[in-house]
Amino acid sequence: MEQGTSEHRGGLAKRIPAGGLRRRRHLTAWLFMIPLMVINLLVILGPSVATVYFSFTEWAGIGPAEFVGLQNYRDLLADEYFWQAMWHNVVWTILFLTVPIAMGLLGAFLLSQIKRFQLFFRIAYFIPYVVASVVNAAIWKNILDPERGIGSALASMGIPFLDGVSFFGNTRLALPSVAFVNIWVWWGFILLLFLTALQSVDQELYDAAKIDGANRWQQFLNVTLPGIRPTFIFVVLLTIINSLLVFDYVFIITQGGPAGASEVVGTLMWKEAFERFEAGYASAMGLGLSFIAGVIVLIFIFLRRRGWEV
């Protein structure tokens, strides 16, 4: 990305004469940016700034907003449902930092070692990612249905221990079960990111490691992992951000239930805004969440500037 920028800079500097023509060219450039800018201002930037204001108000989402200073933030810090939801986001993050990344790395490594059917496997792993979330959720609700799902299917084969288990209806199982469904969707995408990175690792490094007598595992640790470090760090960042902001699968499968057992901040905020009509409070919650996500991205950018090549 950086390279492309400097390259086009250099190319243009050669072509463009100074003075009025240059100014006209700048104007033309901004004219071409108008559709992008207007739409972004209207939908994302403007409302994002407004969120900052509304987070300091008591507001029902319609009508006038009453300025209440930091009250929403004080409420937020004292809100046990918020902290419970936040904790679920942390659990979610831990699950997503381990299971899909391990599966993706394993799959990508194996896939990079084979020639036949590689295309088939890539398509197979990626398909859940392009299926609508409502559909994937419905599929797993069916499979994990306590009466007409995998539990009773196994029971009829003589393996009764999952029979009648309500994966999404049990307070202990709801969150990991929803996370499991989302991992099923997500890991194939991670695999493809890793596979792309693996295929750009210099083959000579493997050959050199082999000459030094490194076994498969040592090759993986000393050649593969350092070779894909930028992608690996990117995946970690993507995972953390997505886990903080997760909404779809939780909302569709359990609506945060039972009894808040799978509530995450994303669904809690949506309920505050559109079911309890606490739009000011929801704004504070959304801003707090975005702030945390923003700090994490800033750390990532900072490390990148420091030459980490992340």
Q: Which of residues 140-199 bind other proteins (CB under 8 A)?
A: 140-143, 145, 147-150, 152-153, 156, 184, 188-189, 192-193, 196, 198-199
CB distance 304 to 310 below 8 Å = yes
Q: Does 89 bind other proteins (CB under 8 A)?
A: no
DSSP string, 108-131: HHHHHH--TTHHHHHHHHHHHHHS
Q: Does 98 bind other proteins (CB under 8 A)?
A: no
Q: How far apart are CA 192 and CA 190, in angstroms?
A: 5
Q: How far apart are CA 140 and CA 61, in angstroms?
A: 35
CB distance 152 to 141 below 8 Å = no
Nearest CB to other proteins, comparing residues 182 and 231: 231
Residues 221 to 280: which contact other proteins by CB under 8 A?
A: 231, 234, 238, 241, 244-245, 247-248, 251-252, 265-266, 269-270, 273-274, 279
Q: How far apart are CA 143 and CA 180, in angstroms?
A: 12
Angle at 21 between CA 20 and CA 22, to 5 degrees: 90
Residues 280 to 309: which contact other proteins by CB under 8 A?
A: 282-283, 285-287, 289-290, 293, 297
Q: Does 135 bind other proteins (CB under 8 A)?
A: yes
Q: How far apart are CA 60 and CA 279, in angstroms?
A: 5
Residues binding other proteins: number (CB under 8 A)? 116
Tell the smallest beta-carbon distance from residue 173 to other proteins (Å). 18
Site track 4-43 with other proteins (rule: CB under 8 A), x = hit: xx-xx--xx--xx-----x--xx-xxxxxxxxx--xx-xx
Nearest CB to other proteins, comparing residues 223 and 261: 223
